[in-house]
Amino acid sequence: MSTATVTADQRNVISRMWNDKENRSVIIQIIAFIAILAFFGFMGRNAVLNLEALGKGFSFDFLFQPASYDINQTLIEYDSRSPHLRATIVGIINTLLVAVCGIILATILGFILGVLRLSNNWITNRLAYVYIEYVRNVPVLVHILMVHGFIVHTLPIPKQAINFGDAAFLTNRGLFSPKPLFEPLFWIVFGLFVAGIIFTIWFRRYAKRVQDSTGKQYPVFWISLAAIIGLPFLSYFILGSPIEWQIPYLKGFNFKDGLVIRPEFIALWLALSLYTAAFIGENVRAGILAVNYGQTEAASALGVSRGRTLSLVVIPQALRVIIPPLTSQYLNLTKNSSLAIAIGYMDIVATIGGISLNQTGREMECMIIVLLLYLVISLLISASMNWYNKRIKIVER
Amino acid sequence: MRVTKSAAIAAALSLTALTANAGTLEDVQARGELNCVVTTGLTGFAAPNADGKWEGFDVDFCRAVAAAVLGDGSKVKFVPSTGKTRFTLLNSGEGDILFRNTTETMSRDADLKLSFLPVNYYDGQGFMVNKALGVASAKDLDGASVCIQTGTTTELNLADYFRSNSISYEPVPIETNEEARTNYLAGRCDVYTTDASGLAATRATFEAPGDHVLLPEIISKEPLGGAVRHGDDAWFDIAKWVVNALIDAEELGVNSGNVAELGAAAGNNPSINRLLGTEGDMGAMIGLDKQWAARAISAGGNYAEIFDRNIGPSTAIALERGLNALWKDGGILYSAPIR
């Protein structure tokens, strides 16, 4: 249809559609959408053409071929005859391990830093300030390399290991510590521990109900502690310590047996935690400052103790400010763990995105897998943090 | 009207996508520079010297190719690569040719879509340990920590060898030779394993090279050579015959000192005449002029000169010719005839 045949009526329709604000925005969005599709279509086509020109197909069959390489840190059974798929799973577990450990340590350190930053003590306050400014203004990769370099270059070799009571040994090849071997009776202790947690959840609700109706208060904290920690501990000793500790010993080049935490894991874990903690510290400080001081004063005017003011007035409100940026920090930490490649920690990037990619030459397939894995992990973290955020946010009426 | 225009744009775009892969020789000549993928630094094979100029065995092969194609051995841009990035750099077109002590294997040839040039160094994988450990054989390495460059054939050989000998070990994966050196010297690992030539080259950079020994076991065949992308036969032929010409030159006694004289006029030896273009026109067959080989030889000398200057007995690396001697001297180095 050429423009010459457009009647005056039709032209009218077009101009009316364009002049209508809502229609116009729909048209613009459709055009933008088509442009984006065309762009990705072109990139995809280009990739396919180039792969074809090189004579390389696109297939995930390689995942079921033997990987042929060894991995030093494997939490599941793995050897060089296992397929690439299993190497990938080993990588995922290693990434999750360092991410979870990192998030826990970073959160604890971050909350401590945030509180120290608000301290009235000048020295404490300044020390926390200097720490935060130093750590968050140096790239995390530098921190990782520095911690790793420190461990490898300053800690002794296995033959001169730092000895902790003949049970644990610290060397530049990692921390060798006793490994718990669980005997059948141990599962009773574990069962009591789980029961303690369930009891605590029920008891807290019950105590709240009693307080709401009668005003009577139970020592909830101490009773919870006794249920979760005390009882399992007691049963552990009554049952005759049903955990056998396998002690590492020096044989030949290295320590044998026991549990080994390798320098690569320690370096990555510490560096990521220390780095992210600085950011979390600032989030925590912001959260606490966001709660008007008048509320604390009001609470003390009502005779509420300092501890209860903190736990019932300040923290619940501060959390609402802290949680959303905290989610971003958790995501950052998880994604930054991919820098593991710099020190040879065998995470997702080093296994499927590194050695498997290189030995099979399947760049496209491997990078797609790596991308999807990080996406899924990040979305899961986001989802659970959003769920938590929803729980603690102000209930609007 | 509108349709034809967008179709033309699409066609033009897809054409540019395709032409990027055709005619490496034309690309290199138009650019006036050869992009050569080398290591990030392995003394004796490819490493920048104190003045920042690249030097080494692999580097000299790059220069020979540049001299044959561009007439000047200095017109090379060196693209440093790790064991992991080298093939991607070559296949994506960042590099025209790869000289990075790379082992030729069937899967690399067929699956990674590379075309391997004639072998320029016959190597094998060895182990280096500190003398103080008192290890005499690789079989004594049970429980050791082993530093290993990822993305190499050595990584796979190691897993196979230790598995078949039921030896347990801790692999310590690292990216570059320099990282391996630091980790090995700091005692993060007991053993460093890579090609024996690479071990000798690395050991030469230690403060006390005498404290470290190479174990007698050579656990693999590592035929090292250059490589180009699959699918450009004209470019492959040029690279292949430059390597052959350097080996042939040693056999014929042509070196950087006498190549100008021998190439000035035809002599009595037809083989030399063909090589240096004073008889026939071998260069035209690969799309170059008659003096292609003469230029390649004058860039860095023949095979023996390149070997001796970079890694030979008189250097710190002190490698013997061994398997890499000419076939008539008891080695297995052998060039197909240039005729």
Q: Which residues of B touch A81 (CB under 8 A)?
A: 163
| CA distance linking residue B18 with residue A239, whole number of Å | 74
Number of domains in chain A: 3
Instruction: Provide the whole-model pTM.
Output: 0.79
Residue A77 located in a structural domain: no
Distance, C-alpha A181 to centroid of its chain: 28
| CA distance linking residue A157 with residue B145, whole number of Å | 11
| CA distance linking residue A69 with residue B153, whole number of Å | 10
Do A217 and A337 share a structural domain?
no
CATH superfamily of B125-220: Periplasmic binding protein-like II (3.40.190.10)
Do A214 and A173 share a structural domain?
no
- A81-114 pLDDT tens trace: 999 999 999 999 999 999 999 999 999 999 999 9
Q: Which residues of B touch A359 (CB under 8 A)?
A: 151, 155-156
Q: Is B43 in a helix, a strand, or coil?
A: coil
Which of A246, A272, A299 is the endpoint of a domain? A246
- Asked if residues A160 and A172 have their Cβ atoms less than 8 Å apart, the reply is no
- Indicate the CATH number for domain B20-123+223-329: 3.40.190.10
| CA distance linking residue B147 with residue A53, whole number of Å | 37
Q: Which of B143, B186, B188 sits opposite A256 (nearest CB)?
A: B143
Determine the residue of chain B that is closest to A71 in CA distance: B171
- Which residue, among B92, B139, B150, would best test binding to A if mutated, counting the most A CBs under 10 Å from its CB? B150
Across the interface, whether the CB atoms of B83 and A358 are under 8 A apart is answered: yes
pLDDT score recorded for residue B9: 46
Do A159 and A14 share a structural domain?
no
Residue A255 located in a structural domain: no
Q: Which of A45, A50, A344 sits opposite B174 (nearest CB)?
A: A344
| CA distance linking residue A369 with residue A88, whole number of Å | 9
Single out the residue of B129, B133, B160, B134 nearest to residue B146, CA to CA: B129
Residue A22: domain span = 3-54
Residue A348 located in a structural domain: yes
* Backbone region of residue B116 per phi and psi (left: phi > 0; alpha: psi in -120 to 50; beta: other values): beta
Q: What is the mean pLDDT of chain A?
A: 88
Distance, C-alpha B196 to centroid of its chain: 15
Q: Which of B20, B111, B142 sits opposite A252 (nearest CB)?
A: B142
Q: What is the band of A44 on the pLDDT scale with cuts at 50, 70, 90? A: confident
Residue A316 located in a structural domain: yes
- The whole-number average pLDDT for the span B122-144 is 90
Supply angle C-alpha A302, A308, A314, rounded to 5. 90
- B264-280 pLDDT tens trace: 988 899 999 999 999 88
Between the CA atoms of B20, B22, B25 and B27, what dihedral angle is there, to the nearest 10 degrees?
A: -20
Between the CA atoms of B110, B115, B118 and B121, what dihedral angle is there, to the nearest 10 degrees?
A: -70
Residue B64 CB: number of other CB atoms within 10 A?
Answer: 29
Which residue matches tokens 């005003």?
A: A215
Segments of chain B assigned E as strands:
34-39, 47-48, 54-55, 76-81, 97-103, 114-123, 125-130, 144-149, 169-174, 191-195, 212-214, 222-229
- pLDDT value at B16 more than 50: no
Determine the residue of chain B that is closest to A57 in CA distance: B111
- pLDDT value at B317 more than 60: yes
Q: Is B91 on the interface with A (CB under 8 A)?
A: yes
Determine the residue of chain A that is closest to B232 in CA distance: A54
| CA distance linking residue A189 with residue A260, whole number of Å | 25
| Higher-scoring residue by pLDDT: A12, B212 | B212
Across the interface, whether the CB atoms of B159 and A69 are under 8 A apart is answered: yes
Interface of A with B (CB under 8 A): 42, 45-46, 49-50, 53-56, 68-72, 79-81, 152-153, 157, 172-173, 251-254, 256, 263, 341-342, 344, 346, 350, 354-355, 357-361, 363
- The whole-number average pLDDT for the span B122-134 is 91
Instruction: State the sign of the Cα–Cα–Cα–Cα dihedral B214, B220, B221, B223.
Output: negative
Q: Which residues of A touch B94 (CB under 8 A)?
A: none
Q: Which residues of A touch B112 (CB under 8 A)?
A: 361
Do A375 and A274 share a structural domain?
yes
pLDDT score recorded for residue B22: 57
| CA distance linking residue B174 with residue B268, whole number of Å | 54
Q: Which residues of A touch B17 (CB under 8 A)?
A: 46, 49-50
Across the interface, whether the CB atoms of A56 and B113 are under 8 A apart is answered: yes
Across the interface, whether the CB atoms of B188 and A360 are under 8 A apart is answered: no
Across the interface, whether the CB atoms of B174 and A79 are under 8 A apart is answered: no
What six digits make up the tokens of B330? 């008891």
Q: Which of B91, B169, B187 sits opposite A157 (nearest CB)?
A: B187
Q: How far is CA B147 from CA A250, A369, B155, B175, B254, in A?
A: 20, 27, 10, 10, 42
Do A292 and A377 share a structural domain?
yes
pLDDT score recorded for residue B280: 87
- Closest approach of chain A CAs to the CA of B104, in angstroms? 13
Which of A32, A54, A76 is the endpoint of a domain? A54
- A229-276 pLDDT tens trace: 888 888 888 888 778 888 888 888 888 888 889 999 999 999 999 999
Do A140 and A165 share a structural domain?
yes
* Long-range contacts, stretch A138-144, CB < 8 angstroms, 24+ apart: A140/A271, A140/A272, A140/A275, A140/A336, A140/A339, A141/A339, A141/A342, A143/A271, A143/A274, A143/A275, A144/A267, A144/A268, A144/A271, A144/A272, A144/A339, A144/A340, A144/A342, A144/A343
pLDDT score recorded for residue A185: 83
- B98-111 pLDDT tens trace: 999 899 999 888 88
Q: Is B186 on the interface with A (CB under 8 A)?
A: yes
Single out the residue of B62, B60, B68 nearest to residue B293, CA to CA: B68
- Which residue, among B9, B188, B220, would best test binding to A if mutated, counting the most A CBs under 10 Å from its CB? B188
Q: Which residues of B touch A157 (CB under 8 A)?
A: 187
Q: Is B144 on the interface with A (CB under 8 A)?
A: yes
pLDDT score recorded for residue A5: 59
- Which residue, among A59, A69, A170, would best test binding to B if mutated, counting the most B CBs under 10 Å from its CB? A69
Determine the residue of chain B that is closest to A154 in CA distance: B186
- Closest approach of chain A CAs to the CA of B61, in angstroms? 25
Determine the residue of chain B that is closest to A361 in CA distance: B112
Do A356 and A207 share a structural domain?
no
- pLDDT value at B38 more than 70: yes
Across the interface, whether the CB atoms of B158 and A152 are under 8 A apart is answered: no
| CA distance linking residue B280 with residue B286, whole number of Å | 13
Do A166 and A229 share a structural domain?
no
Pairing of strands B34-39, B47-48: unpaired
Question: Hey, do B20-123+223-329 and B125-220 end up sharing a CATH topology, with the first three levels equal?
Answer: yes
Q: Which residues of A touch B133 (CB under 8 A)?
A: 253
Across the interface, whether the CB atoms of B21 and A50 are under 8 A apart is answered: yes
Q: Is B233 on the interface with A (CB under 8 A)?
A: no
| CA distance linking residue B37 with residue A335, whole number of Å | 31
Pairing of strands B34-39, B97-103: parallel
- Closest approach of chain A CAs to the CA of B76, in angstroms? 25
| CA distance linking residue A263 with residue A157, whole number of Å | 12
pLDDT score recorded for residue A258: 83
Across the interface, whether the CB atoms of B145 and A173 are under 8 A apart is answered: yes
Q: Which residues of B touch A346 (CB under 8 A)?
A: 173
Which of A246, A280, A303 is the endpoint of a domain? A246
Q: Is B142 on the interface with A (CB under 8 A)?
A: yes
- pLDDT value at B229 more than 90: yes
Q: Torsions phi, psi of B165, nearest 5?
A: -100, 10
Instruction: Name the least confident of A183-187, A248-252, B4-8.
Output: B4-8
Residue A256 located in a structural domain: no
Q: Is B236 in a helix, a strand, or coil?
A: helix
What six digits make up the tokens of A47? 């990739």
Sheet holding B191-195, edge to edge: B169-174, B144-149, B191-195, B125-130, B212-214
Report how many Cβ contacts below 8 Å link chain A to chain B: 109
B224 forms beta bridges with B103, B121
Across the interface, whether the CB atoms of A358 and B171 are under 8 A apart is answered: no
* Long-range contacts, stretch A251-257, CB < 8 angstroms, 24+ apart: A251/B143, A252/B142, A252/B143, A252/B144, A253/A158, A253/B133, A253/B141, A253/B143, A253/B144, A253/B145, A253/B190, A254/A158, A254/A173, A254/B143, A254/B144, A254/B145, A254/B170, A255/A158, A255/A161, A255/A169, A255/A171, A255/A176, A256/B143, A257/A179
- Closest approach of chain B CAs to the CA of A362, in angstroms? 8
What's A307's domain CATH number?
1.10.3720.10
Domain layout of chain B by residue ranges: 20-123+223-329, 125-220
What six digits make up the tokens of A7? 């009647």
Residue A183 located in a structural domain: yes
Instruction: Name the least confident of A236-245, B61-70, B177-186.
Output: A236-245
Across the interface, whether the CB atoms of B186 and A172 are under 8 A apart is answered: yes
Q: Which residues of B touch A342 (CB under 8 A)?
A: 175
Do A242 and A215 share a structural domain?
yes
Which residue matches tokens 């030097």?
A: B55
- pLDDT value at B19 more than 90: no
Residue type at B292? W
Do A183 and A171 share a structural domain?
no
Do A270 and A138 share a structural domain?
yes
Q: How far is CA B235 from CA B26, B68, B114, B285, in A?
A: 9, 12, 12, 12
Do A281 and A158 share a structural domain?
yes
| CA distance linking residue A335 with residue A98, whole number of Å | 11
Single out the residue of B163, B211, B166 nearest to residue B184, CA to CA: B211
Single out the residue of B130, B172, B234, B12 nearest to residue A344, CA to CA: B172
